[in-house]
């Protein structure tokens, strides 16, 4: 039995670790080793026993729909006659003309992807650093790309009322602002948070947030955390406990019905937009941050998706579950090193061992 590895890239650009030169080296290695390239939907059909693939095969994927996928990555794929799947965040896709690519000459290098995501929490909506609809149409029409959904929002929401930290400069939680509606006041409590497609959303206690933010502002804002962030957080936990002892928890968890309607609505709307604007089927989904639940899977199928990509490791084999496509991160390594990773991905046994090792490493990290 042979498995089909799937590579997961984000932004291929001079500003990233995976530069266009690194990406070209990867594609050269893939071609030289005799791999065919397939879309995720083609892989999913093969897994269901509904189609054939030219083996060995590899699927190349790009998450987030960054404009660099069009300006930098697409020319390399087109020149080699290779195919890929681009997963786009539909709320960040805007209007505009098709921009020039490196085939036409020098193009503007984008900021790093992490900065682009951080900017999106401040200015939700279409972003110039993401592909526009005209570019996605060109990608689909040239035959090099399948366009799939990465959700409508790529947002994170609170999931319960526990306090796991407090917002300050050193907390590094760029995605936190999605859950607070853009509120970035220093000292705000941080609750556990997951992808908006993961499960029920917890709506935080606005009065508690005001009280804690005021407490920190009166004590110097960021300066409150300067000497000892851990001591500051311990103090704020006492402030939260005192507030809740006096006022209770004013937050609210979504009902099951509300949660189901919201997730299904986001999944269906993203798919509808892609199909309407590109006049092409959208059957593949990629879970933001790789986070999903049994409910998420059921609602994705109800919304019309027939495959879903994760960030988990494992073998993609005939008879496997196309709603859990396993992927290998596309890293800044040599083409030769990439081929070793693909060799593991082709072997069901070696893939399962590699996946088990990764799970063990994550589990062990919790106790370090």
CB 16 within 8 A of CB 72: no
Give me the mean pLDDT over the 138-167 stretch: 94
SS3 256: helix
Q: How many angstroms separate the CA atoms of 86 and 285, rounded? A: 10
Q: What is the DSSP string of 273-284?
A: HHHHHHSS---E
Rounded to whole angstroms, what are the CA distances from 353 to 87, 274, 367? 28, 37, 22
Q: Which domains does the chain have, with CATH numbers?
A: 6-154+259-365 (3.20.20.370), 157-195+205-250 (no CATH)
Q: How many angstroms separate the CA atoms of 351 and 242, rounded? A: 50
In the chain, beta strands by DSSP E: 6-9, 36-38, 57-62, 84-88, 145-149, 156-158, 165-166, 189-190, 193-195, 202-203, 252-253, 284-286, 307-309, 328-329
Asked if residue 205 has pLDDT above 80, the reply is: yes
Q: What is the pLDDT of residues 337-368, one digit of tens each?
A: 999 999 999 999 999 998 888 887 765 444 33
Neighbours of 121 (CB within 10 A): 19
| Residue 201's pLDDT band (cuts 50, 70, 90) | very high
SS3 234: helix
Tokens 């682009």 map to which residue?
116
Please, which residues have CB within 8 angstroms of residue 316's CB and are 6 or more apart in sequence? 3, 4, 5, 6, 43, 47, 325, 326, 345
Q: How many angstroms separate the CA atoms of 155 and 153, rounded? A: 5
Q: How big is the chain by its Cα radius of gyration, in Å?
A: 22
Q: What is the pLDDT of residues 110-122, one digit of tens each?
A: 999 988 887 887 7
Find the largest Cα–Cα distance for the chain: 68
Q: How many angstroms separate the CA atoms of 313 and 293, rounded? A: 17
Q: How many angstroms separate the CA atoms of 1 and 317, rounded? A: 8
Q: What is the pLDDT of residues 160-194, one digit of tens each?
A: 999 999 998 876 666 677 788 888 899 999 999 99
Tokens 């090193």 map to which residue?
337
Q: What is the pLDDT of residues 22-74, one digit of tens each?
A: 999 999 999 999 999 999 999 999 999 999 999 999 999 999 999 999 999 99
Share of the chain above pLDDT 70, in %: 97
Task: Please provide the size of the chain in residues.
Answer: 368
Task: Report the phi/psi class of residue 46: left, alpha or beta, with left for phi > 0 and alpha for psi in -120 to 50.
Answer: alpha
Residue 279: both structure tokens together: 């006049």
Q: Whose CA is closest to 299, among 333, 260, 255, 241? A: 260
């Amino acid at each position: 039995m042979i498995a089909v590895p799937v590579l997961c890239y984000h932004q291929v650009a001079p500003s990233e670790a995976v530069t266009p030169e690194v990406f070209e080296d990867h594609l050269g290695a893939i071609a030289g080793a005799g791999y065919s390239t397939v879309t995720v939907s083609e892989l999913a059909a093969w897994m269901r026993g509904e189609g054939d693939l030219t083996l060995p095969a590899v699927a190349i994927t790009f998450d987030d729909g960054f404009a660099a996928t069009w300006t930098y990555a697409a020319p390399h794929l087109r020149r080699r006659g290779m195919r890929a799947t681009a997963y786009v965040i539909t709320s960040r896709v805007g209007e505009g003309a098709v921009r020039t690519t490196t085939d036409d000459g020098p193009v503007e290098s984008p900021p790093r992807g992490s900065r682009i995501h951080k900017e999106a929490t401040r200015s939700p909506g279409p972003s110039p650093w993401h592909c526009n609809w005209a570019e996605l149409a060109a990608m689909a029409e040239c035959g090099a790309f399948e366009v799939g959904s990465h959700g409508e929002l790529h947002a994170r929401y609170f999931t319960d009322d526990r306090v796991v930290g407090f917002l300050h400069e050193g907390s590094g939680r760029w995605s936190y602002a999605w859950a607070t509606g853009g509120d970035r006041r220093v000292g705000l409590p941080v609750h556990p948070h997951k992808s908006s497609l993961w499960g029920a959303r917890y709506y935080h206690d606005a009065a508690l947030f005001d009280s804690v933010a005021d407490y920190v502002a009166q004590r110097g804002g960021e300066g409150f955390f300067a000497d000892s962030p851990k001591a500051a957080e311990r103090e704020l936990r006492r402030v939260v406990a005192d507030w809740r002892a006096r006022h209770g928890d004013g937050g609210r968890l979504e009902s099951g019905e509300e949660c189901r309607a919201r997730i299904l609505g986001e999944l269906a709307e993203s798919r509808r937009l892609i199909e309407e604007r590109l006049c092409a089927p959208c059957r593949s989904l990629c879970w933001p941050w790789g986070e999903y639940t049994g409910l998420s899977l059921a609602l994705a199928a109800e919304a019309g998706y027939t495959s879903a990509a994760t960030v988990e490791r494992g073998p993609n084999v005939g008879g496997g579950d196309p709603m859990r496509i396993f992927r290998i991160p596309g890293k800044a390594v040599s083409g030769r090193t990439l081929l070793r990773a693909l060799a593991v991905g082709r072997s069901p046994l070696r893939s399962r061992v590699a996946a088990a090792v990764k799970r063990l490493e994550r589990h062990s990290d919790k106790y370090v």
